[in-house]
Structure 1
């Protein structure tokens, strides 16, 4: 008699151990469970999903506003009193926080996919709450202190929406496997209806999303207008210290359309170029004249201003992270720059570029408080600079300026109706890029009003404004934008664009639905013989058994796997592997049976017209009946590595 002792073993599950260990510090097998997740842990999963969405939004926002990092640093400089680049550290901290939260989100979804009970570790919970609070505080601070910057988010979507839609389709398609697994595991019909309805609503919304996308770069290529003219903001401040002769010379080497400068009047009536109210940020006044560091720049004589160094700060603070890319000769030149006067700029730019001039009002106690406009006009007219190349921005004494210098292009810095501007003899506008829409650009163009937008540094924003038909932009990054030959992307418009997004992206949405359907139907397929492809299971867990080749009862040992129940993708993999193993073993056994039958087939011998029968096999022992072969009695026994035989 042959007795079979079942052999139970556990397959190594390194991936599952890492999954539950990293998420909940459950590295041992006995610590894991396939029970339903508790309501408290489900609440933490919802909090994790909320934090993931907020950090993703904050990361996208902070990446897109890198065009205005200098403006953000300038705002903090005015608040804190010292200059420091806060933008990049915030970006790095945001990226690190998002990576951490995204990792936890993926681990949580993997728990759902393999049917594991979620149990977030308390350290992760503390980190999650800290990131959520920090993100909410940061978004609230920007909403209160930098409210206009949220408009950049809407503008950026005009350039990124088509690509974000493709990414959303890929994400929903990847999540469809988990949704299908949860749909199959749901015991109530109401739960299945809720899961399926929610998923189909999301897919349907993504399918219709392309119809709502509006972007100036969705156009026929033949309708693309000329490239916007570039005006160097304070020269080329990424390649040299701002408002210095070196900065303006670097800008002219790029053959820019114009130069922008801020004009201030010194105490003795000399116009010079300075953006800040004081000299602390861009000069070494604190080293040479500490007592004058906090005085307004316009309250110092020109002789004192000439003694200050206006280039060392650029190499020390590196405001645009570009100082290290300068050649040694350029670094030496930048280190020796001084404050530039308006007369020096006029001599340099005469006949080479247009000037966009902005005058800064001196303090009330300044001796030239009421005549600083006249002093600036005298310097312009005395230099012989062409009047038609001057864009005059100040609103003070504009009638006097039109009378003294009728050739100046009067430019307004405030947004008004086109008819009103024309009545005031305004020829152009200088606005922030968030202040004007495409329709308003068309209206201004119909009234022959030129529009210049500031400050445009990012290539994606420059491309978007190019497609919108903006005539000119002011930029700190002119050396990069001047090398952009065409917009970063252009999509066809009209009927062709509608067909593209309905057919192409619609197919992508339908692909996700088909993957869900295939996942739901994978486990219910039937084999050719009519038997269901699911393995034989017990109530407590999966127990794979090999059926008899000829339909008999199961007498062989069984292999108890280390998993209990699963869902989604794991179910599909288990079923597929089970069928493959069963087909391979069945084919092997049929081949062995055929060979055994051929060896034992009787051979007929004819003797004198009579036939006798003999078998080509070993003789049967004299005592006792012959014991049948174990392989004929139980085919599964031959595949077991451990067996016990009692005589």
Structure 2
């Protein structure tokens, strides 16, 4: 087999351009243009995949949006993750084949089918970014926050990628025929290299501290119990969260028609659809809010079978048969049941109050709490409506605020907000002022580790069983040590790239010299043989 038709060349040519034989025609400008498109699509898909991974912490928000519109619980976020992973893998492989083509000196004729796939891939990413911008804007702060946890390692990876790709850049530089082309390639490479090498100057992370300065581990608050291990807002779920070492139960309270406070997150129309079998028990009825049903009617509903059927966190397989049977027979608990459990275990309770009648429902809820006999200091009062009345009626409750401004106005020192609403610097500032800061909902290790380094007091989580086992954050590094590693990595990269350039330069000159010698030999042979060649 000739060198032009070697196995590597044929495979590379076929997979990239679907030309299993060397094509005689080539539109160089168009080929280079499509190579740029492949490179940009690969970078775009990588960025999109990164966004998907760091927003995985809030996947239930996406699934909830899908449920409210389609009335069917599906793990839509996982569908997006799978499609994004396939797209990213495809683009990266296509880019690798393109670079392989360059290394083999093959033409970059991208096949039309690849062009179509790239087009749809870019459209998919564009729709995803637009969807976040329009429907999920509160998620964008998660991306810069995540960089505080990943930027040091992304920089090391970028240096490695730059080092590996530098050989292709040097090859293109040597083959450039005009001074302008060489200057453009050199300038772009220098700018990109400088940006990658020097970006640690701008990297700030709370985990870049000495291990001895690491704050205490944040306390854990069970979000509706332990919803990865049991159906949310059921007594089984709160029992499982106790084993995780939670210091507080987080839940949601609504009142029935006969004024019994009970635990249920979903509110408004179809508030029982997702987590109960209300369709089976009341097939001909539609409920707009909790006051449409009595406590006796609510007790007839099953609040656990949905968990086994939908497996919202893909965790049912971790349960034993006995646990599955227990989950299958869960009912809607009352607030009083949770208060009794909290009193027995000396665990705090924090809740939202979903109600169209805030004044009346607040009074009945406070009465239920006071009549339960629980220590008032275990109640973390969060609902903002009627707060002044609650302070007068139950002065022993700890008042928790959703706004920093209102907290300071009322003289409070307990704050409960979404994790992306506070910067790590703000968390440290509040902690220095002796403010107890709880952030919700924190489910992924990288986020918990970052907030741990920042010194947050506690987190509301679905993953209490996973965080309980963590003895330290995923990484902590003294700033001086990081700077040393950064300088060493950059220096090694510069040395390797310099060596590659020198070797490639020598190889290029050797090939050029051999080519000139071959041309001179051919010209000499033609001159020596010219007297013997026919003239007409």
TM-score normalised according to structure 1 size: 0.77
The answer as to whether partners of 1:32 and 1:116 remain within 8 angstroms in 2 is no
Structure 2 residue 170 is matched with structure 1 residue 180: yes
Task: Measure how far apart 1:75 and its partner are.
Answer: 2.0
Q: Tell me, in whole angstroms, the C-alpha distance in 2 between the residues paired with 1:509 and 1:166.
A: 13
| Counterpart among 214, 234, 252 of residue 204 in structure 2 | 214
Q: Secondary structure at the match of 1:199?
A: helix
Task: Kindly provide the CA deviation profile for residues 169-204 of structure 1, in whole angstroms up to 9, marking residues without a partner as x.
Answer: 111111111111111112222222221222122212
The residue matched to 1:232 in structure 2 has which SS?
strand
SS in 2 for 1:237: coil
| Match runs of 1:488-527 below 5 Å | 488-493=474-479, 495-524=480-509
Task: Say which SS state the counterpart of residue 470 (structure 2) adopts.
Answer: coil
Q: What are the ranges of 5 or more consecutive residues in structure 1 without an aligned counterpart?
A: 1-7, 527-531, 544-552, 555-647
Aligned partners of 2:220 and 2:245 also within 8 Å: no
Which of the numbers 346, 349, 355 marks the counterpart of 2:339? 346
* Aligned residue runs from structure 1 range 158-177, under 5 A: 158-177=148-167
Go from structure 1 to structure 2 and tell me whether the alpha carbon gap of 1:539 and 1:379 turns closer, same or farther (over 3 Å shift): farther
Task: State the Cα deviation string for residues 535-584 of structure 1 (Å, max 9, x = none).
Answer: 776459x99xxxxxxxxx99xxxxxxxxxxxxxxxxxxxxxxxxxxxxxx
* Equivalent position of 1:487 in the other structure: 473
2:128 maps to 1:138: yes
Instruction: Give the SS at the match of 2:349.
Output: strand
Partner deviation per Cα, 1:206-265 (whole Å, 9 max, x = no partner): 111111111111011111010000000000000000000000000012221111010101
Structure 1 counterpart of 2:450, from 451, 455, 464: 464
Q: 1:14 aligns with which of 1, 4, 7?
A: 7
What residue number does 1:569 align with?
A: none
Write the distance in 1 (CA, Å) between the matches of 2:223 and 2:41. Answer: 39
Aligned to 2:118: 128
Alignment partner of 1:313 is 2:306: yes
**C-alpha distance 441-10 of structure 1, shift in aligned 2 (>3 A):** closer
CA distance in 1, matches of 2:27, 2:452: 53
Q: Partner residue of 2:416?
A: 430
Checking the alignment, whether the CA contact within 8 Å between 2:250 and 2:349 is kept in structure 1 is: yes
Looking at structure 1, the residues matched to 519 and 104 of structure 2 have their Cα atoms a distance apart, in angstroms, of 19
Which whole-Å CA distance do the structure 2 matches of 1:82 and 1:132 have between them? Answer: 29
Aligned CA-pair RMSD:
2.3
Counterpart secondary structure, 1:230: strand
Q: 2:292 aligns with which of 290, 294, 299?
A: 299
Shift in alpha-carbon separation, 1:118–1:500, aligned structure 2, 3 A = closer
Aligned equivalent of 2:530: none
For residues 500 and 457 of structure 1, the distance between their equivalents in structure 2, rounded to whole angstroms, comes to: 30
1:245 aligned partner: 235
Q: Using a 3 Å threshold, how does the CA distance of structure 1 residues 513 and 136 change in structure 2: closer, same or farther?
A: farther
Give CA deviations for 1:455-503 in whole Å, capped at 9, x if unaligned: 000011000000000010000011001111100011112x444333223
TM-score under structure 2 length normalisation? 0.92
Partners of 1:151 and 1:101 in 2: CA distance: 27
Q: Deviations over 1:28-59 (max 9, x none)?
A: 2xx345x7652222222222222112111111
Q: In the TM superposition, what is the alpha-carbon distance from 1:338 to its structure 2 partner?
A: 0.3
SS at match of 2:350: strand
Whether 1:72 and 2:62 are equivalent positions in the alignment is yes
Deviations 1:55-103 (A, max 9, x none): 1111111011111111211122223332211011111111111111111
Q: Residue 320 of structure 2 corresponds to which residue in structure 1?
A: 327
For residue 378 of structure 1, the aligned residue among 367, 370, 387 is 367
Which is greater in Rg? 1
User: Tell me, which stretches of 5 or more residues in structure 2 are unaligned?
Assistant: 526-536
Distance 1:539 1:266 in 2: 95
Larger CA deviation: 318-327 vs 223-232: 318-327
